[in-house]
Amino acid sequence: MDLNNLTINKVHNALLKKEFSTLELVNNYLEKIKKDDSKISAFLTFEEKTAIKEAKKVDDLIAKNSEKVPILAGIPLAIKDNIMVEGIKTTCGSYILKDYKSCYEATCVKKLRKLGSIILGKTNLDEFAMGASTEYSAFFPTKNPHDLKRVPGGSSGGSAAAVSANLCLASLGSDTGGSIRQPASFCGVVGLKPTYGAVSRYGLVAFASSLDQIGPITKTIEDAEIIFEAISGKDPLDSTSVDFKSQNSNFDLNFDLKDLHIGVPKEYFVKGIDKDVEEIIRKAIKKIEAAGAKIEEISLYHTKYVIPTYYLIATSEASANLARYDGIKYGLSEQKSDNLMDVYLKTRGRGFGREVKRRIMLGTYALSSGYYDAYYLKAQKMRILIKNDFEKAFKKVDVIFSPVSPTAAFKIGEKTKDPLSMYLADIFTASVNLAGLPALSVPVGYNDNNLPVGLQIIGKPFEEKKILKIGRFYE
């Protein structure tokens, strides 16, 4: 049996039938990482001893009582390296945290470990999740398994590349402006950005606290749903998390495609989008229309303001969140300095990369005296208008379809010299974070260079199950 192309359900059933052991499965993935990751560079930290130890525990559990084995027991996962795993390095892809070991565990990781999931290691990312290509990692860029000369997307590029290259069965990423969906699209896998508050952010190293959200990257829609179910729910350690599971769903999961109203924003099909990407997305929309769904053109009027709004709010929050890296409590510390201010300046100067410094400076400027009202406050007002656009649209349609990105995976080095062109990679995804909505990236085709293209399915708040069910149509 090929152990590399299985789904969570297939692995679970095979383990219970003793077709192979958890140890055999984990060793298979560990060997594959050793063999293939030198080309892809998806992993920053590799946890071989711990993974083998945990695999043996799952095998013991199966031997004693196979009826009480959770579906995620023995499933080999990878975790983005801005999510805390106790006792393992959490570098956030930054030199300033290169030797930092987590002293506590993220709630989502704790939930997965409790169910018996096995963590193979931590995956590469753009430094502090600030980027769209995983080229801004302080250590090395990650490559796209479909074409090693191209980027895997970002900032969860390591997590998406690891799943795409069969180096793990599934992974966790974080999404602040598209960082799960865009790499999932570039790597031809499934990526779910949950509703803000659906998954606890406790243990996620903060970039922009009002935008960040943890979610799964998987091979199939079903796998994404299984992991989402496991990690979602209220957490007393995160006051922004919501107990939506106990509430009655306000939608019927037995809906028929013929009753489905799909909105297509005219602002998302404009000059600048690659022709082949637009063609693939249009075909995907026509396919579901042929199955009976009703397609309606809608307007998200304030789309042209999404990028400036997002980058003002995200950088402002980042400048506040990253102020904690001062060389005093943890991480890199330049102690050979004349005074305390020198410690701060030298530590941050050496520890932070160019993109992180750029965003800190932009955010600090937007929050500074005399400019707060002109920039940050205005961006927050625009955020409300962007959110209102979606609310108006959802009065007419059930879900919204759009491209994930205006392009397929671009070449390594192609956009690093022009930050603005890199920022525009988030144009179709950042609005979802500003509005706090759930969205799914599902692969729907390949362009002329044989690179994957993803369709984005945007839903109403806490309607993850609905967009996942619609996504299954394309599988």
Catalytic residue positions, numbered = 80, 155, 179
Fill in the DSSP letter of residue 410: P
Q: How far is CA 274 from the centre of its chain?
A: 23
Coil/strand/helix, residue 137: coil
Shortest CA distance to 37 belongs to which of 129, 142, 125, 118? 142
Alpha-carbon distance values, 108 to 173, 234, 386 (Å): 11, 11, 29
Shortest CA distance to 435 belongs to which of 315, 305, 277? 305
- For residue 444, report the phi and psi dihedrals to the nearest 5 degrees: -130, 5
With vertex at residue 191, the alpha carbon angle to CA 190 and CA 193, rounded to the nearest 5 degrees, is 155
Instruction: Report the half-sphere exposure of 412 (CA within 13 A, side-chain side).
Output: 18
What does the block give as tokens for 208? Answer: 């922009």
For residues 407 and 153, give the distance between their C-alpha atoms in angstroms, rounded to a whole number: 11
For residues 352 and 368, give the distance between their C-alpha atoms in angstroms, rounded to a whole number: 21
192 and 440 Cβ atoms separated by less than 8 Å: yes
What does the block give as tokens for 175? Answer: 């999404």
Fill in the DSSP letter of residue 232: B
213 and 257 Cβ atoms separated by less than 8 Å: no
Helical (H) or strand (E) element with 61: helix 48-64
Fill in the DSSP letter of residue 453: E
Provide the Cα torsion 417, 420, 422, 425; round to 10°: -160
Shortest CA distance to 363 belongs to which of 413, 297, 318? 318
Helices (H), 405-463: 419-423, 430-435
For residues 172 and 192, give the distance between their C-alpha atoms in angstroms, rounded to a whole number: 10
Contacts of 286 (CB under 8 A, 6+ apart): none
For residues 139 and 148, give the distance between their C-alpha atoms in angstroms, rounded to a whole number: 17
Neighbours of 349 (CB within 10 A): 10
Side chain identity, residue 251: F
For residues 156 and 159, give the distance between their C-alpha atoms in angstroms, rounded to a whole number: 5
With vertex at residue 465, the alpha carbon angle to CA 464 and CA 470, rounded to the nearest 5 degrees, is 100
